[in-house]
Amino acid sequence: MSTTTLARAWSISRKDGLVLGFTDHDRSMMFEKIRFRPDSGLTARAIVQASGLSVDNTEAEGALTDDAITETDLMAGLWDGAELRMWEVDWTDTMARKLLFRGSLGEVSRSGGAFRAELRGLSETLNQARGRRYHPRCSAVLGDGQCRVDLAHPSVRGEAAIEVVQDETRLIIAPIGAFSDNWFERGTVEVLSGPATGMRGQVKNDHRLPGGGRMLDLWASLGRAPEPGDMLRVTAGCDKHAATCRAKFANFLNFRGFPHLPSEDWLLSPDKAPRHPDIKFTVDPSDIRDMFNIGGRDD
């Protein structure tokens, strides 16, 4: 392998099975049953690798093209967590190659018709928190195996048609039921019909309008704009407080936080700082008995 014949090549594998290959050489290459194209405009910065368990990291930059990586797909999250491999390869003999990096796509930013993606190494997962955390708020994700709230239940979510698209992040929808004001804050929306089918977003604000309609503000645009008349599924959100768990979802038995944990100020100076637990109601003794009943909750 000569320095005059070296090229870099990388493949990106999406979770839905799509695999794309790119190279900074001026001709296509073929190995690992992947065709590496030179016309993508994709480049990679220098790889930073460290010994021990430090996270390897680098960045990839490229142009957004209709037949490779599109802005719509990026905003829709189709490339989130995609596996990436990078090689140094002799373009005169592709058998002479060395795998330099293997990981996944992290944070993706875009502007001016181009994108920049953070590449996360295999050791990235070792930096993620494990086990229980002692915190007044719940550590579970709404609807997961620890929370156990059924997100398909009609008391949690609803479907309605979009009446007005005010801008990229504000939608006005038809009446969706007797849900209270702010019910869907911190929740999700999913487009069920029209050109934006499958697009998902996070609800920032939810206001009930006179007549039963709702105005939803999203944290970010959906990637592909929906149209009036498209059907939308809206799912409730949770602020992780014990009071919300009980009053909104009737799910306090599966609450994964510690609502009576004193604040840091109280721990440092208990004689001066008032104790304000997260929980805002008086717990019924039967709830405590059920909470510690064997089989009642999994720890």
Q: How many CB atoms lie within 10 A of CB 57?
A: 19
For 108, 118, 141, 149, 238, the CA distances from 257, given in Å and listed in that order, are 32, 33, 12, 15, 13
Question: Cα(43)–Cα(9) distance, rounded to whole angstroms?
Answer: 9
* Contact indicator for 247, 255 with CB cutoff of 8 Å: no
Domains of the chain (ranges, CATH numbers): 3-127 (2.30.110), 157-235 (2.40.10.170)
Query: pLDDT at position 14, please?
Result: 87
pLDDT per residue, tens digit, the chain (299 aa), is 667 889 888 888 888 888 988 888 888 999 999 999 886 555 655 455 555 545 455 666 655 454 667 767 777 777 788 888 889 999 999 999 999 888 887 777 666 666 777 777 777 777 666 777 788 999 999 999 999 999 999 999 999 999 999 988 999 999 998 899 999 999 999 999 998 888 889 999 999 999 889 999 999 888 788 999 999 999 999 999 999 999 999 999 999 999 988 877 776 776 665 555 554 444 455 554 555 554 444 54
Question: Cα(58)–Cα(107) distance, rounded to whole angstroms?
Answer: 12
Q: How many CB atoms lie within 10 A of CB 60?
A: 21
Could you tell me how many residues make up the chain?
299
Angle CA 269–271–276, to nearest 5: 75
Q: With left for phi above 0 and alpha for psi between -120 and 50, is residue 293 left, alpha or beta?
A: beta
Q: Residue 96, class by beta-carbon neighbours within 10 Å (0-12 exposed, 13-18 middle, 19+ buried)?
A: middle
41-44's contacts with Cβ under 8 Å and 24+ in sequence apart are: 41/65, 42/10, 42/68, 44/8, 44/10, 44/86, 44/119
Query: pLDDT at position 273, please?
Result: 56
pTM of the model: 0.64
Query: pLDDT at position 281, please?
Result: 46
H runs (alpha helix) in the chain = 71-75, 242-249, 264-268, 285-291
Question: Cα(101)–Cα(56) distance, rounded to whole angstroms?
Answer: 8
Query: pLDDT at position 284, please?
Result: 53
E runs forming strands in the chain? 6-13, 19-23, 29-31, 34-37, 43-44, 57-63, 83-90, 93-111, 114-121, 157-167, 170-173, 188-191, 200-208, 214-218, 231-235
Q: Residue 36, class by beta-carbon neighbours within 10 Å (0-12 exposed, 13-18 middle, 19+ buried)?
A: buried
Residues with Cβ < 8 Å from 83, sequence gap 6 or more?
12, 13, 102, 103, 104
Question: Cα(60)–Cα(47) distance, rounded to whole angstroms?
Answer: 10
Question: Cα(140)–Cα(244) distance, rounded to whole angstroms?
Answer: 13
Query: pLDDT at position 294, please?
Result: 43
Question: 196: helix, coil or strand?
Answer: coil
